[in-house]
């Protein structure tokens, strides 16, 4: 099975900790586990690491995707 959770979930980044509160736990789980590429922090970290990102339009929404290296 392909991994879908955020590869940075264990990175102890303070920007990610804003997602993890009891009030936001359900949305954090959905974002970090099911749809990490929809998270702006995910893309910030990728850019900081120099990982390339491409953008595509899906159902009229611009979605950044990681480029295969």
pLDDT at 60 over 70: no
**Better-predicted residue by pLDDT, 20 or 27:** 27
Q: Kindly tell me if the per-residue pLDDT of 37 is higher than 80.
A: yes
Q: What is the pLDDT of residue 63?
A: 58
pLDDT score recorded for residue 9: 85
Cβ-based neighbours of 14, under 8 Å, separated by 6 or more:
none
Res 3 pLDDT > 80: no
With H, G, I as helix, E, B as strand and everything else as coil, classify residue 65: strand
Using alpha carbons, list the distances in angstroms from residue 55 to 10, 13, 18, 24, 66.
26, 24, 25, 27, 8
CA geometry: angle at 51 spanning 27 and 63, to 5°?
Answer: 45
């Amino acid at each position: 099975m392909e991994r879908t959770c955020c590869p940075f979930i264990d990175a102890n980044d303070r920007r990610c900790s804003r997602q993890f509160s009891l009030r936001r736990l359900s949305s954090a789980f959905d974002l970090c586990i099911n749809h990490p590429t929809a998270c702006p922090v995910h893309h910030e970290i990728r850019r900081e690491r120099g990982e390339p990102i491409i953008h595509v339009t899906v159902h009229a929404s611009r979605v950044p995707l990681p480029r295969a290296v």
